[in-house]
């Protein structure tokens, strides 16, 4: 199949259902990820299969003023990789626009090695783009979920190995993974990343059955401050009360 034919076929599938891999995605092993740590582990499996050294999953924020990429996790989870800061910034704005209109993967090669482009250039259903993170090679897969969320699954590395056949397989697995994560945290893309260590400590102690007074004593805080940490974490998790916040934090793998 010629490059133009591959792009036309992909565009037709995208226009029909915004997911050219619907049937495959439902049967994928990544479809039933139930926690963020589990999703990270499954994304790492995909990265290993294509010899990528780093990865990240991003949602497009629904902000009407300025849509941007919001990191859900990356290969440094629970931390944040340096590359993610570039991808979530101005470097990702063009990919936001692209992901809303197409599922065609986009690649870049910016590590200074002449042979790096040769890995990606033969791929029929992939287009070059400006580097999402300087000094890196990578490929970004636009993905969509049932509730209308869209985003990217990104893989980085100087030795990524892909063919047209594996490109489709990896994209399908990325769709399935994104769909699973979107069900875990609908409408809450990325916000849990801002929860502080102290807020998580208070949530964990609440999960263990401690009262605000007991938490304050254990952490050497005032009761007011302990309550403030719990209120902030509840808001960040988009929960209605502390009990729901604890349940969400447990499900997302933020506390054990």
pLDDT digits (tens, 9 = 90+) for 158-178: 889 888 888 888 999 999 898
pLDDT digits (tens, 9 = 90+) for 110-134: 866 656 678 788 888 888 888 888 8
Assign 240 a pLDDT band (cuts: 50, 70, 90): confident
The answer as to whether 19 is a domain residue is no
- If asked whether residues 136 and 231 sit together in one domain, one would say no
Sign of CA dihedral 15, 166, 190, 250: positive
- Compute CA distances 224 → 154, 193, 204, 230, whole Å: 42, 24, 18, 10
Domain that holds residue 208: 192-252
The answer as to whether 208 is a domain residue is yes
The answer as to whether 20 is a domain residue is no
Assign 24 a pLDDT band (cuts: 50, 70, 90): very low
pLDDT at 235: 83
- If asked whether residues 66 and 145 sit together in one domain, one would say yes
Six-digit token string for 163? 């063919």
pLDDT digits (tens, 9 = 90+) for 140-160: 999 988 767 788 999 999 889
Domain count of the fold of the chain: 2
Cβ–Cβ < 8 Å for 96, 70: no
Q: Which of 150, 169, 189 is the last residue of a domain?
A: 189
The answer as to whether 130 is a domain residue is yes
Output the domain CATH number for residue 124.
3.30.450.40
pLDDT at 188: 47
The answer as to whether 48 is a domain residue is yes
- If asked whether residues 214 and 139 sit together in one domain, one would say no
């Amino acid at each position: 199949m010629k490059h133009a034919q591959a792009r036309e076929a992909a565009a037709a599938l995208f226009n029909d259902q915004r997911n050219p891999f619907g049937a495959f995605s439902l049967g994928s092993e990544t479809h039933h990820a139930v926690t963020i740590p589990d999703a990270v582990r499954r994304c790492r499996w995909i990265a290993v299969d294509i010899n990528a050294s780093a990865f990240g999953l991003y949602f497009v924020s629904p902000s009407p003023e300025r849509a941007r990429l919001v990191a859900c996790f990356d290969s440094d989870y629970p931390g944040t990789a340096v590359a993610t800061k570039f991808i979530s910034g101005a470097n990702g704005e063009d990919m936001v626009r692209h992901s809303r209109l197409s599922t065609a993967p986009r690649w870049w090669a910016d590590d200074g090695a002449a042979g790096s482009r040769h890995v990606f250039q033969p791929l029929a259903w992939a287009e070059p783009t400006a580097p999402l993170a300087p000094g890196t090679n990578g490929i970004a897969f636009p993905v969509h979920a049932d509730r209308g969320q869209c985003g990217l699954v990104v893989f980085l590395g100087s030795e990524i190995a892909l063919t047209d056949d594996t490109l489709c397989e990896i994209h399908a697995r990325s769709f399935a993974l994104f769909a699973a994560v979107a069900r875990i945290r609908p409408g809450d893309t990325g916000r849990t990343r801002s929860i502080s260590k102290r807020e998580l400590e208070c949530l964990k102690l609440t999960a263990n059955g401690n009262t605000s007074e007991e938490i304050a004593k254990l952490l050497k805080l005032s009761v007011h401050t302990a309550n403030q940490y719990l209120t902030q974490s509840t808001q960040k998790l988009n929960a209605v009360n502390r009990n729901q916040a604890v349940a969400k934090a447990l499900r997302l793998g933020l506390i054990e």
